[in-house]
Amino acid sequence: AAFRSMMNNFAIAISIGLQYGVPLDEFVDAFVFTRFEPSGRVTGNDSIRSSTSILDYVFRELGVSYLDRRELAQVTPEAANLDGMDGAPADAPQPVPAARFISKGFARGAAPDNLIVAPFGRKEPSPRTTPQVQAQAGPCPECGDLMLTDRNGTPVCGACGAAPKVQG
């Protein structure tokens, strides 16, 4: 359960990083070849046959699928044996290769050229609704927390919600 929770939170951290503009290339370069257990043979993937860790596998797949980084795959799409016979001779003639290689559930290749990205700005919150730190108020008398915020002219503790009286 702990490992699953760590992986879930790691996935959330990567997602937030991507949303804030960290390039996927940076994550792929940072986590490919990460080594820890479990590691070894990968089944059910057409182009990645083994990995040094779960992170290595995930970021290899992301690199191959979304960044067209074929050097991260151990099997090229042209050399992939997709008939499930692992090199045994086939009874029927070989089919004509597809124009665009598609893996089990993952569309390989870069994003289409006709994508439109609309710019958007960040709306600044209104100063009336943004809590301001009250540095001169001191610690909260209830819990001792130093994060007192100003709400409608009254300092309020961000941790416990207590409203200490202002001196002066």
This prediction has a pTM of 0.45
pLDDT at 161: 81
What are the pLDDT digits (tens) for 53-102?
A: 888 888 888 888 888 888 887 766 555 555 555 555 556 666 656 555 55
DSSP readout, the chain?
Answer: -HHHHHHHHHHHHHHHHHHTT--HHHHHHHHTT---SS-EE--S-SS--EESSHHHHHHHHHHHHHH--GGG-SS-TTT--TTSSTTPPPSSPPPPPPSS-B-SS-B-SPPPTT-------PPPPPTTTS-EE-GGG-S-TTT--S-EEEETTEEEETTT---PPPP-
pLDDT at 133: 45
Mean pLDDT across 129-154: 66
